[in-house]
Amino acid sequence: MMLGNIDMTDKIREECAVIGTSLKCEEAAGVVYNGLLALQHRGQEGAGIALSYNQSIIVEKDIGLVNEVLTEKVLATLPKAKTAIGHARYSTTGSNTIKNVQPFLTEYLTGRIATAHNGNITNAKQIRSMLEKEGLDFSATSDSEVVSSLIAYNVIIQKDLIKGVVEGAKILCGAFSLVLMTGDKKLVAVRDPHGFRPLCIGKNEYGIAVASESCALDSCGFDFVRDVKPGEVIIVENGDITYSNVELTANKQGLCIFEYVYFARPDSIIDKLSVYEARFNMGRMLAIEHPVEADVVCGVPDSGLEAAMGYAYQSGIPLVSGFVKNRYIGRSFIYPSQLQREHAVKIKLNPLRATIEGKRIVLVDDSIVRGTTSAKIISSLRSTNVKQVHMRISSPPFRHTCHFGTDIDNEKNLIANQLSIDEICQRIGADSLGFISVEGLKKACSKSSLPFCTGCFNNDYGTNSVKMSKYMLEE
């Protein structure tokens, strides 16, 4: 199905993943590699690593998945290092080309920094114009290159790393979780004052790591310590935190609530709330807000599974596995053509006839954005002779654009702005359809230490929303 004139799959695309480590031993490359593998779900278009070595910074990056870019052969060529940062990319600003893959290396007269960024800088075009007037050159079309250059420029002006980072970050508008590394092996972590995107700290006997999600810390053998506070700047040297302070302030804070719905891995903890617990609670709220008589509950793998557990728990309807997932293909959106994406959806999930045939099913998924995938999944269930399919969605209908790190850039392409709930239900072939309410979603996530940005659902953003194009730096 095509909505508007654009072929898209029925999921919001992820932002990016960042990770950095400062150790007392020379194992930083392995830590960053393993962490990026754990964070691969956040970005599948490009990957890279930067290491601080002999007062220099070595960068290895390319288009592709982490294990395609950082192959065994490539890893063997990297020097031993105590400090490194890494990035897995989904392009929210700038085309998917190698010049836009992170980390970005910025060299200046007195030093160099490498930068990895998760989020979207809404005033990147204005900042780049300002820096170009100061004589800086740009080769990429990513807002992350602008961030790296801005920080480097302010370090020169301030003649101090902390002051340069703080003064540069004060100019940035939008969402940013940053890890930076200097040529003299300092690691810097910064989270924007709104707290749009997650960033957390881990520690072990060898040093410190910072990452987009705690699941990466777990996979690398670090104990989760805490989340980076909104507006906080952290400096790590030789495996120890030497500076931490909230330097940036905002009138309103708001974590992107879709981190809990879909983006993050269920084994992560974000701002003191388990992602698994949040999704389980979403299912419970769905059962309260949209009850139905049915024989079984099943979730759409993977991000619908925990909400399905919650729905079954609250409703008392038995939970079953409704699908077998093919684990050997990527997420459907990475395929370059619409025909390939359609075939990928068909081979990715196969209904498990033994558990659902002849049954009335509550089918739980995380979202309906454009309606394409939901229709295909329900059609596949109908082929197993199910009696009814009652679809329940653990996020409210998407109605508004987002410019803080996701790809909702045109409200005309959102099915909820084209059809009523009943019409969507008919379009996807369900017997009934229920979305969690915004208040129900907030209640499910109420243990989070931060309030939420829910702008894509109700136009209530954590800050002023700025209309911008993904390709604004190419225009």
CA 467/CA 26 separation, integer angstroms: 44
CA 390/CA 374 separation, integer angstroms: 12
Cite the beta strand spans of 398-474 per DSSP E. Answer: 432-435, 452-453
Please give the DSSP secondary-structure letter assigned to residue 6. Answer: B
H-helix or E-strand spanning residue 259:
none
**Alpha-carbon torsion, ordered 327, 333, 334, 340, to 10 deg:** 90
What are the tokens at 56? Answer: 């220099």
Give the list of residues 6+ apart from residue 160 with CB closer than 8 angstroms, or none: none
H-helix or E-strand spanning residue 305:
helix 305-315
Beta bridge partners of 351: 323
> Which is catalytic among the residues 16, 200, 298, 445?
16
187 within 8 A of 85, measured Cβ to Cβ: yes
CA 430/CA 315 separation, integer angstroms: 20
Active site residue 16: yes
304 within 8 A of 297, measured Cβ to Cβ: no
Q: H helices within 385-474, ranges in order?
A: 421-428, 438-444, 455-458
What are the tokens at 429? Answer: 């072939």
CA 132/CA 135 separation, integer angstroms: 5
Give the list of residues 6+ apart from residue 334 with CB closer than 8 angstroms, or none: 44, 45
Among candidates 380, 395, 470, which has minimal Cα distance to 434? Answer: 395
H-helix or E-strand spanning residue 125:
helix 124-133
What are the tokens at 343? Answer: 């075939």
Place of tokens 């370090």: 155
State which amino acid sits at residue 57.
Answer: I
CA 250/CA 230 separation, integer angstroms: 9
Active-site residues, by number, are: 16
